[in-house]
Amino acid sequence: MTRKRLKQGLVQVYFGRGKGKTTAALGQGLRATGHGFKVYMIQFMKGNTQYGEIDAIKQIPHFQVKQFGTTELIEIPGDIDLEEGKKALEFAKEIITSDEYDIVILDEIGVALQMGVIKIDEVMEIIENKPEKVELVITGGHPIHPKLRERADLLTEMKMIKHYYSSKGIQARYGIEY
C-alpha cells in the first residue's frame, strides 16, 4: 500500500520574540498526521526537559520527537552544547533524507544559530539537500539569519505586543508554556 505523500515540500520559518513558534509548528504537525502524513520533530536546545507536548506526541500515531541540548539555559555555549548541536544536525540530516517522514520540524534551530551552537551553512545545506516531498518547519530565533530569511517559502514573525510575563510578572505556566 502506498502512503500519502506531499506533492511539494516547502520551507516554513516561524521566528521572533513573541509566543507561539513551537505551538505553530506543533499545530502543523498535528494537522498533517490527521491527513495520514508522518511527522518528526527534532528539538534543538531543549535537552530532556519534559514539556507537555512531548507526552502528547507519544500518543499521536505517526508523530515522533527527539530532543537535543542540555536542560540548562545557555549564555555562552560550551563544548557539550556544540556537541549536542552537531548530534542534532546529523540526526536531522538522517531523518530528512530517510524518505520516512513528510514533515520535519526543526524546533529552536534558530536559537541554536543565534547562540553559535550550529552554523548557518550547515542549516542551508540541510535545506538545499532535502528531498522534494519533505516539508521543513523551522522555529526560533530573532532576528532570523538573512540566508534563512531569503530561502524560506513561508516566513512568519511572532511579535510580542503584550505578554503577561512582563506586564503582570506571571511566570511560565504548567500546561500553557511547558
* pLDDT band (50, 70, 90) for residue 126: very high
Which has the closest alpha carbon to 119: 88, 73, 153?
88
CATH tag, 11-168: 3.40.50.300
Contacts of 82 (CB under 8 A, 6+ apart): 117
* pLDDT band (50, 70, 90) for residue 3: confident
Task: Check residue 151 and report its DSSP letter.
Answer: H
pLDDT for residue 7 is more than 90: yes
pLDDT tens digit sequence for 73-100: 777 889 999 999 999 999 999 999 998 9
Q: Which residue has the higher pLDDT, 46 or 1?
A: 46
pLDDT for residue 49 is more than 80: no
Contacts of 176 (CB under 8 A, 6+ apart): none
pTM of the model: 0.92
pLDDT tens digit sequence for 158-176: 998 898 877 788 888 888 8
pLDDT for residue 24 is more than 90: yes
Calculate mean pLDDT across residues 98-113.
96
Partner residues linked to 65 by β-bridges: 41
Calculate mean pLDDT across residues 152-163.
94
pLDDT for residue 122 is more than 80: yes
C-alpha dist (Å) from residue 57 to 82, 122, 125? 27, 27, 28
* pLDDT band (50, 70, 90) for residue 55: very high
Task: Count H helices and E strands in the chain, helices first.
Answer: 7, 6
Calculate mean pLDDT across residues 49-55.
86
Calculate mean pLDDT across residues 22-45.
96
pLDDT for residue 128 is more than 80: yes
